[in-house]
Every structure is written in structure tokens, then in C-alpha cells.
Amino acid sequence: MKLDRKIIIRNIIMLSLKNICRDHIVYLFNQVDDMMKNKNSTSMKNKILVNAFFEPSTRTSLSFETAMYRLGGNVITFNENVSSIKKGESFEDTIKTLSTYGDIMVLRHPEIGAVEKASKISNIPIINAGDGSGQHPTQALLDLYTIYRTFPELKNLNILFIGDIEKSRTIHSLVEIFTLYPLNKLHFLAFNNCLPNEDILYNISLNHKQNIDGIIIQPDQLDISLYDVVYVTRLQKERHCSSVESNFILTPEMVSKMKEKSIIMHPLPRNKELPTTIDMDKRTVYFEQMKYGVYIRMALLEQLTN
């Protein structure tokens, strides 16, 4: 399918996934399939990516960096601790400056909405690499791509999200992208005091035609053999004001009860919710997620910059 490149670009300069549609996703995934075959190109030669992370990151920052180098481009990295922010410079002036030096910026910030604010100041496109407990759109795209590799039709899936449902931006963005795929059922098994807000439950019940009371699964009701996708997240300790605890562990015993053709996902980093003893199970795909992230980000960088 041929889509107007400009429309794709406008829609994917996304701070959230609100403007994306299924045609864009098909287009993006086809591009990713091609990139996985070719691996390197020179399409970003002479282009500079500004990597600006105001919060810790391993995979997102380094996969964007790898992606840019694989496309023949260059990367400059902003480090808050040795920047003029330490001399009292504002966020606004910092963004204005960074956007003068590069062609595209990847920005992560601990506050919800900070990336959107930056996009209004910047002269160059900004990709949201996570804004507090808000959104993480590129992670949702790589997560969806990972699901699509096993379940290409993206329908009739029973999906269980486990962990910090309230504060996990990766869950928020993946749930949002699934509004485009209403023929799947979404469920949550939350750590204590980490339940999703009412709006999320309401939207799921409307979009996916689910009974609102059945969306939340209590640990003692869990029948893990019902699910095709089990998506686990860590406790977002840094985002909670009150005391919370990670009180669920996906044990090897539980995993052994899962469907043969099901997958276990995690955006990583993990804590105790996902023991390393399950890593060898063929259903685990979290290291694949990490690998696909590079190609998804290569495709996005190309679409946004060229």
C-alpha cells in the first residue's frame, strides 16, 4: 500500500499514539521487515540525532543510537548532570538549544506532558521516549511488532498485563494502540495499589466489548492457561508517592501452565516479578522485543527525517 509520506510523517511525529492508524502500522511493519533483512543503510548520512534523556535508560537510548548509526547518521548525547541546567538554565532554553544542533530529537522526561511541551518549542521533530507515567509510543510499536511476529492477524488474542498497571507508561501506550485492534480482550493483574484508573477500564469495556467488572483479575482467580500474551512490568517505585509493593512473581510453575503457543513479554528492566529461571522457556520474547526495538526505531527515524 502506498501512503502519502507526508501524512505518515505528520502522524508519527507522535507524542502519543493518538493519530496513528492501522495503515501506518502495516506500512511501518513492512519497513521493519525489510530493515531486518538489510540491517544497514546510508539514508541518514549527514543527519544528527539528539539523544536527550532526563531519566535513566539503557534500551531506549542505546537502541535509538544504534538505529541512527545503522542508518549512517550521527548522534549527540545530552547529559543533564554536566549541562547548563546545573547553572539554572530552563528546560525551554535547553530544548531550544538542542533543537538547533540536530535534525531529530529523542526525549525522555520524568514529567507527563514534558515532551509535548518541548515539541512546541523545538525546531525539529521530537520522538517521545517516555514522559513520566504517561506514554512510551515507540515501545508500544515494538511491543505490537513482537506480538505480530507470533500472531500476525492481531485478533482474537487474550492479553494479560501484570504488574504496575497504574504507572507503567509501556502498558498505557500498548493499551492505547490496541484500541485499533478491538477484536482482542485485555485484562489486568495489578500489584497491590497499582490498579489502572477508571478511564482505562471504561475505554477497554467500550472498545473491546468487555464487561468492565471482568477486566481486573485477582491473583487468586488467575487461570494463566487462558492467555496468549502475558505482558509483565516492574514496580515503578520512582513514580509512587504512597507505599507500594511488587507482590506477584511469574514463577516457572505458572509458566508451565501457559498455552504452548503463547508469549511472555516484558519491556525490561526487570526486578523480581520476572525470574531469570524462566528465560530459557520458548515462550519468553523479551530479548526479541529488545532486538526489534532497533529496527522499529530505524524505520521511525527514516520516516521522520527524510
Q: Which of 59, 96, 239, 259 binds ligand NCD (CB under 6 A)?
A: 59
Q: Among this protein's residues, is 108 annotated catalytic?
A: yes
The grid coordinates listed for 212 are 468492565
Q: Among this protein's residues, is 60 annotated catalytic?
A: yes
Distance CA 201, CA 204 (A): 5
Report, in Å, the least distance between residue 118 CB and ligand NCD: 17
Q: Among this protein's residues, is 149 annotated catalytic?
A: no
Q: How many CB atoms lie within 10 A of CB 230?
A: 25
Report, in Å, the least distance between residue 268 CB and ligand NCD: 5
- Residue nearest ligand NCD by beta-carbon distance: 267
Beta-bridge partners for 284: 264
Report, in Å, the least distance between residue 130 CB and ligand NCD: 5
246 binds ligand NCD (CB under 6 A): no
Q: Which of 267, 286, 298, 301 binds ligand NCD (CB under 6 A)?
A: 267
Question: What order do you get walking across the sheet with 263-265 strand by strand?
Answer: 185-190, 158-163, 229-232, 263-265
SS (H, E, C) 97-162: HHHHHCCEEEEEECCCCHHHHHHHHCCCCEEEEEECCCCCHHHHHHHHHHHHHHCCCCCCCEEEEE
Q: Among this protein's residues, is 18 annotated catalytic?
A: no
Q: How many CB atoms lie within 10 A of CB 113?
A: 13
Report, in Å, the least distance between residue 300 CB and ligand NCD: 14
Query: 216 or 268, CB closer to ligand NCD?
Result: 268
130 binds ligand NCD (CB under 6 A): yes
Which of the residues are catalytic?
A: 59-60, 87, 108, 136
Chain residues binding ligand NCD by CB under 6 A are 59-60, 130, 136, 139, 169-170, 233-234, 267-268
